[in-house]
Amino acid sequence: MAEPRTPRQTLQNLKGEIEFRAKLARQHVDGEVVLPDYYRKEDHDRILLERVAATSEKMSDLERLGVQFSPFLELGAERGQRSLVLANDFHADGVATDISYHQLATIDHFSHMFGREKLPNRICCNANYLPFKSEAFSCVFCYEFLHHFPSLEPVINEVERVLGDGYFYFDEEPFKRVFRLRLYTRKNKIYSQTSLRKNKWWAFIESFISKPSSDEVEHGIIENEDLDLAEWIRALEVFDDRDIDLVSVGNVTSKLGPRLRLKNVPNFLLGGRISGLCRKRTETQQPSQRDVSELLACPGCRLQSPSHRSETPPLVKSPGGLTCSRCGVEYPEKDGILFLLPSAELKELYPSLARSGASG
């Protein structure tokens, strides 16, 4: 009997991500109010500047722990504020990826706003089959990204595949709150002015008895807050070493080991945020300076052979983008952003860019 397939994002989920984040780009760059219940441009600018400062501090901590940043890969980079910190403050080379072209395109705008002019390489791709060679990166990281998948295992396995002798860091992810009732769905969306002004004690109580409402879910984006600690443990087992922090309301903290322990029970009941630094050890260390073209792999070939870890044929320069030397599929480039999506998916998600002669 064939093993059941691990659930992944559907095409509709991906279309929802693209539609929603295109609206965010208009709201947070042009100042147009497209999503009235979401942060306006001024508030968003302030939040991003705070995140830039926090990222610089965190990356300094990781550097002291021995993390080598070049070459790096950021997953779900969106506006790229964290990749910009690495590229400019730490002089690292790497790649910022996202399924949303519109968010990656805003990196030009925010690089000027942050005073960080060096841009990372930008690639629009699907994290379920990353378009990179195995063991290509020394550092892979993401923030608020992993909970947009129905299951952790597929995306974590891809992270482990493209990571060489180095580190995977993740932060600001939720884990399941067991002690919770979903008696109703809140009327006001989580980032609306009404919700943000709500009494903090009532907001705290309401978080235990209700289900949040958000623009993301309305657009079909997965907001998976039911990733339990057992699933996190199973998914992260692929790494050699793990230092995982759990933080719940009231600053209840514990370390997550290879199995649930008594000290994890309060976090297990209350839910909260999970972050961690994972280590993969290999005999071959990646050089710190590599041209991004050396790291790329054809996503169509990757999709055909998802377990294939050997060297893949190179992607070569062609008019308007790159072409796979094995299957001949062309991948377009627009505004400095490379689209490395399997051609059938590209036609669905970005039909204006799809090559009429592409197949896959």
* Residue indicated by tokens 């994972």: 278
317 sits in which H/E element: strand 315-318
What's the pLDDT at 289?
65
Beta strand 184-185 pairing with 137-143: unpaired
User: 246 pairs with which residues across the strands?
Assistant: 254, 274
Evaluate if pTM is beyond 0.85: yes
Across-strand partners of 23?
Answer: none
- At position 31, the amino acid (one-letter code) is G
Q: What is the pLDDT of residue 311?
A: 59
Q: Count helices and strands (H / E) in the chain.
A: 13, 14
Q: Where are the beta strands (DSSP E) in the chain?
A: 72-75, 94-98, 121-124, 137-143, 163-175, 184-185, 210-211, 241-248, 252-256, 272-280, 315-318, 321-324, 330-334, 337-339
Q: Across residues 311-331, what is the average pLDDT?
A: 87
Distances (CA, A) of 16 to 7, 118, 227, 285, 356: 17, 30, 21, 38, 24
- Is the model's pLDDT at 358 over the cut of 60? no
Q: Are 99 and 126 in contact (CB under 8 A)?
A: yes
Average pLDDT (59-70) is: 97
- The answer to whether residues 241 and 277 touch, using CB atoms and an 8 Å cutoff, is no
132 DSSP assignment: B
Does residue 276 sit within a domain? yes
**Mean pLDDT, residues 277-292 taken together:** 81
CA distances to 113, 209, 327, 331, 338 from 348, in Å: 33, 39, 20, 14, 17
Tell me, what CATH number does 281's domain have? Answer: 3.40.50.150
Token code pair at residue 21: 């984040």
| pLDDT higher than threshold 80 for residue 313 | no
| Per-residue confidence (pLDDT) for residue 360, from 0 to 100 | 37
> What DSSP assignment string belongs to 183-239?
-EE-SS-TTSHHHHTS-HHHHHHHHHHEE---HHHHTT--------HHHHHHHHTTS
Is the model's pLDDT at 206 over the cut of 50? yes
Q: Which residues contact 72 (CB under 8 A, 6 or more apart)?
A: 83, 86, 92, 93, 94, 95, 137, 138, 139, 140, 141
DSSP class of residue 118?
Answer: P
Is residue 230, in this structure, part of any structural domain at all?
A: yes
How many independent structural domains does the chain possess?
Answer: 1
- pLDDT value at residue 308: 55
Any domain includes 273: yes
Q: Two tokens at 214?
A: 């958000």
Q: For 207-221, give the DSSP string.
A: HHHEE---HHHHTT-
Distance from first CA to last CA of the chain, Å, rounded? 28
Is 325 part of any domain?
no
Q: What are phi and psi of 258, to 5 degrees?
A: -70, -10
Separation of alpha carbons 51 and 79, rounded Å: 11
Residue 136: which domain range? Answer: 11-296
pLDDT in tens, 110-167: 999 999 999 999 999 999 999 999 999 999 999 999 999 999 999 999 999 999 999 9
Decide if 337 is inside a domain.
no
Averaged pLDDT of the chain: 92
Does residue 334 lie within any of the structural domains?
A: no
pLDDT of residue 304: 76
Q: Are the C-beta atoms of residues 218 and 186 closer than 8 Å to each other? A: no
User: Residue 2 pLDDT > 90, yes or no?
Assistant: no
Angle subtended by helix axes 41-64 and 81-89, to nearest 10: 50
**Half-sphere exposure in the Cβ direction for 90 (13 Å, CA):** 27
Mapping DSSP to helix (H, G, I), strand (E, B) and coil, where does residue 301 land?
Answer: helix
CA 244/CA 255 separation, integer angstroms: 6
Whether 85 is in a domain gets the answer yes
As a 3-state breakdown, the chain gives helix, strand, coil percent values, each rounded to 5, of 40, 20, 40
What is the predicted pLDDT for the residue at 301? Answer: 87
Give the pLDDT band (50/70/90) at residue 8: confident
Domain membership of residue 319 (yes or no) is: no
